[in-house]
Chains A and B, each alone.
Chain A
Amino acid sequence: NAGVTQTPKFQVLKTGQSMTLQCAQDMNHEYMSWYRQDPGMGLRLIHYSVGAGITDQGEVPNGYNVSRSTTEDFPLRLLSAAPSQTSVYFCASGQRGGQYFGPGTRLTVT
Chain B
Amino acid sequence: EDQVTQSPEALRLQEGESSSLNCSYTVSGLRGLFWYRQDPGKGPEFLFTLYSAGEEKEKERLKATLTKKESFLHITAPKPEDSATYLCAVRSTDSWGKFQFGAGTQVVVTP
Are A and B bound to each other? no
Query: Hey, which bits of chain A sit against chain B, CB under 8 A?
Result: none
